[in-house]
A and B are shown apart, each in its own frame.
Chain A
Amino acid sequence: MAQNEHPPFIENIPAYAVGALDAEDSAALESHLKTCVSCRTELAEYRAVSESLLTAVAPKQPSAALRKRLQSRLPSAQKTIRPRLNWSIGRVAVGAAFTLLLALSVYSILQVRALQLQQAQLTRQIQTSQTVLALLSYPSTQNVPINVNESVSGTLLLDKDRNIATIVVWNMPLLQKDQTYQIWLIDPQGDRTSVGIFRPDPGQSLTTTSITSTNNLSDFVGIGVTVEPAGGSDHPTGSRIFKVDF
């Protein structure tokens, strides 16, 4: 587009370049500039001129006090005018603190849970030991040997009068995670009734587990232990570890 085809836009470009064009004319020119390459080129030249006017004044050294004053304001200015940086540091700090707190909380919960498990285990062992001691002290307690193989053996302590029994076995084989030992009482007809499950503790060669039956132990003739899926079974399904008659 030739320059003489679009006055007054081109006439207004110098004033626009120095920011002196009135608002209405500025809007019209800006609209025209969107579609006119030659006017944009013209504007670029005048803008270079107006930019050069920035330095077309004599320099003047400010007072020395200004430099000191400015220097003293830099830290606070940085704080107020770099909110994103501060925000980021703050967020990172809060995030890190929160993560640390969360990690500590999880660690604490796991520790408490582990202690609870240890406590429950110790409680069971103490109860079993007390039961064993009690059984051994009763004159009516029946002591039935358990012989699985050369390394695995133990004793069944049985008090039919009080309906309590304890299995004490050395070197019970450790089980996989999805397995458990299940104890069965055997009646004269050969039917099995579950009276509990147990797992030997790793690192412990002696396994003790007490049996408290709601049934009358006198109605049964033997006791057996099988390997079952974790949680136990309604009826024996796995391999038999041992069976003793009493």
Chain B
Amino acid sequence: MNDLNESELIAQVAQGNERAFLEIYDCYASRVHGLTLHILRDPMLAEEATQDTFLKLWSRSNQYLAERGPFLPWLLTIARRVALDRLRLEARRPALSDSNDPDDAWLTIPDLESMEEESRWRSMYFAVQSLSPDHRKVIELAYYQGLSQSEIAEVLGWPLGTVKTRLHSAMEKLREHWNEK
């Protein structure tokens, strides 16, 4: 899907066009569901969060402003909030193992290499995987589990200062990687 088609489809979704909505769903459902599943670690809860995300898209697509950024991060930001809200609602803290992230899943994304931004984001996956386990843990808990630094310190039993240092260091490495691309 090119940017022009995407903008047209989003405009049609805002007008209540179900066919356009389903086209966007077919294009991005795996990305949304991948994120909700990564956050919730429960297939049923993840499907509910994915469903809620797309229902929000259906109802609020007119709030998307193309001049403020690409569509996919906007949609995934909604998905992250929905999933984190669900996580808080369930009051459950999942384990840190990531059995739902097989590398070959990337093969399901069409035309990744043809899109510069997509390619950049794809590289971030490997950047996260290349972090040290401790750095990956703090990123995981902070961003994908919605915990504050104090909560991370409590969960991991680390001193707060250590959490701050490791989170800062992990983010610095990711930024370096991001700027290299």
Contacts and interface: CB of A to CB of B under 8 A. Distances in A.
B105 A59 contact: yes
Nearest to B126: A56
A116 to B, nearest CB: 51
Contacts of B167: 14-15, 18, 20
Contact of B50 (A66, A73, A82): A66
Nearest to B44: A63
A81 B59 contact: yes
A223 to B, nearest CB: 79
B148 A21 contact: yes
B12 to A, nearest CB: 13
A19 B145 CA distance: 10
Given A59-B33, A74-B58, A19 B143 contact: yes
A112 to B, nearest CB: 45
A11 B127 contact: no
Contacts of A74: 18, 21, 58
Q: How large is the interface on B (under 10, 10 to 19, 20 to 34, 35 or more residues)?
A: 35 or more
Contacts of A73: 51, 55
B34 A60 contact: yes
A61 interface: yes
Nearest to A25: B149
A115 to B, nearest CB: 49
Interface string A61-89: 11100110111011001100110000000
Contact of B37 (A45, A55, A60): A60
Contacts of B122: 55
Interface in A5-40: 11, 14-15, 17-23
Nearest to B109: A59
A78 B124 contact: no
- Counting chain B CB atoms within 10 Å of each CB, which of A14, A58, A78 scores highest? A58
A82 B59 contact: yes
Interface majority SS on A: helix, strand, loop or mixed? helix
B29 interface: yes
A46 interface: yes
A173 to B, nearest CB: 66
B143 A50 contact: yes
Interface in A188-205: none
B107 to A, nearest CB: 10
Contacts of A59: 30-31, 33-34, 105-106, 108-109
Nearest to B80: A54
B142 A15 contact: yes
Nearest to B39: A57
Given A15-B167, A19-B143, A81-B59, A55 B124 contact: yes
A52 B125 CA distance: 9
B68 to A, nearest CB: 12
A38 to B, nearest CB: 15
Interface of A: 11, 14-15, 17-23, 45-46, 48-63, 66-67, 69-71, 73-74, 77-78, 81-82
Interface of B: 16, 18, 21-22, 25-26, 29-31, 33-35, 37-38, 46-47, 50-51, 54-55, 58-60, 72-73, 76-77, 79-80, 100-103, 105-106, 108-109, 118, 120-122, 124-125, 127-128, 139, 142-144, 146-150, 152, 164, 167-168, 171-172, 174-175, 178-179
Given A18-B142, A20-B167, A56-B128, 8 more contacts: A11-B164, A53-B139, A57-B34, A61-B30, A63-B47, A67-B29, A70-B51, A74-B21
